[in-house]
Every structure is written in C-alpha cells, then in structure tokens.
Amino acid sequence: MLNSIKLTCFAAGIAQAMGIEPPIEAELPMEVFSHLTARYAVSGKAEKVLIYNPDAIAFWLYQKYTQRFLPVMERTQMTIPMQAMFPPKTPVCFATMYTGAEPIVHGIRSYTKPIVKTDSLFDAAVRAGKKVALIAVEGSSMSIIFGGKKIDYFFGKDDAAVEQIALDIIKKGEHDLVSVYHMDYDEAIHATTPESNLALKALNQHIQSFATLADCAAKYWVKNDVLVCFAPDHGLHQTIESVGDHFADIPVDMNMVHFYGLYPASR
C-alpha cells in the first residue's frame, strides 16, 4: 500500500509555514505546517527553515529500525509517511519536492539531471526577500538541477564536508532557508545492500547529522521561530543481484517518511 501524502505537498507547505507565496506550479500544501506554526511559532510563521535531505531513506527502514531514528523524533513533533514520485529516482523526486509539481510538469522523468526551469521553493523564497543557501556534494543531483538561481551555493567533496559547511552557515545566521543534501546511504546501498554494515553505518550518520544540524539551528537561531525538516526523497529495495536500488512502483521504493519540528523563538 502506498502512503497517501505525496511529495507534491512539500514545497507549498514550506512556503505556507514561511508566510510566503508558494512556487507557481506547486500543488496544495500539507496542513501539518500550518498546525506546527499555529501551535508553536511565536511570530505565527517559520522565520528560518532548515531542510535536511538524506537520500533513499525508506519508510520500511523507519519501521524496522525505529530506535535508530530516536534522535530525529526527539527533535521534531510530527512524523509523516510520504509517497515519492514515479520513477523513484533522486532528481525526479527532488525536482518535485522543491517545485511542488508532478514530473510531467517539471520535466525530469528519468535519471537525468537537467536544470529545472519550473518555479521552485528557492525562487519563491528569493521573491519574498529571503536569503537561501543550498549545500550539497559537488556533482550530485541537488547541486545540478537547481543551478542558476539567485541563491548561495556551497558544494563539498563529501557528506562530512557538506555538514561542516552547513554548520558554519547556520552559525552565521545570514540565511532564512538552508537546504542540506546528503548521499552516503544511497551510495552505500548501490555498492552493497540496504542493510549491510556500510549502509546502516551511513543511515546512522544521516540521523546524527540531522541531530547535529538541528541542535545548531536551535542554538544559533534561538531568536527566531525555526522549522526543521528531515525529508528524504524515495525508498529502496534489495534486487535479485543483491544490491540496493530504487526504480519500481512498489511500496518499498515509493514510501518514505518525513519528520517536521518547530522551535519557538526565545525573544
């Protein structure tokens, strides 16, 4: 069974939480964001947003290894099962996540990495006068498909470098929307299996990276209402060749889980 809430809800939801207009082609938002801001935000909106995008963290991983996700759950208030786009490929799903549009609209319908021309959350934030940072591994899907925008780009050689860059940016406090992409788990499953020692080590690292980044945001953005998101793009399965992959219209590939938290400002 596929999860009922699609990635198309994400971009408009973040925009709604920030109190800005959504991307032009975005579908309607999830109500989760308005509930979070209404309940916790002193200002009534998310003044700063941290989006952490770990690649290929499937819903079934959360179901099977729930205790590993405790650092994420402890730092968020809402856990939302989500449905990826088909095909469940990284550029397809992230293009939808940040535009709020189906693949037929934004144009990425396979594992290709063209620059997305469809209006995105990044564009919407810039129009609203927000300062945006995109931090990713150089050459990754996220570093390419959202190129050429009026935002600040920071690329690292690996996940560890990306995390350090993100921490430095959060500490400076100059950006209103910070998007961080990590890919070690996805790389590990393609080289081994979804539950190999290498893969599970990478899963643990993604969880700890989110915790570290969220704690940094809570500390250095303390005077702002802060929304933090743990938002993977798709799931995965083990193939008959005994490696991990994601390409099928099946629940293990299409289902993942997002976590959202709102930290109220201390003014």
- Tokens representing residue 159 in the block: 């996940």
pLDDT digits (tens, 9 = 90+) for 28-56: 998 888 899 999 999 999 999 999 999 99
* Residue 267 confidence class, pLDDT cut points 50, 70, 90: low
- Tokens representing residue 116 in the block: 């997305």
pLDDT digits (tens, 9 = 90+) for 160-202: 999 999 999 999 999 999 999 999 999 999 999 999 999 999 9
pLDDT at position 6: 97
Q: Residue 19, Cβ neighbours under 10 Å: how many?
A: 14
Query: Cα–Cα distance between 46 and 65 in angstroms, integer?
Result: 30
- Let me know: does 225 contact 43? Beta carbons within 8 Å: yes
* Residue 242 confidence class, pLDDT cut points 50, 70, 90: confident
Query: Cα–Cα distance between 124 and 122 in angstroms, integer?
Result: 5
Q: Which domains does the chain have, with CATH numbers?
A: 7-263 (3.40.720.10)
pLDDT digits (tens, 9 = 90+) for 49-96: 999 999 999 999 999 999 999 999 999 999 999 999 999 999 999 999
Q: Residue 35: in which H helix or E strand, if any?
A: helix 32-40
φ/ψ (deg, to 5) at 255: -100, 130
Q: How many residues does the chain have?
A: 267
Q: At what angle do helices 197-220 and 159-172 cross, to 10 degrees?
A: 10
Give the three-state DSSP class for 255.
strand
- Let me know: does 69 contact 211? Beta carbons within 8 Å: no
Q: Is the pLDDT of residue 13 over 90?
A: yes
Residue 16 identity: Q
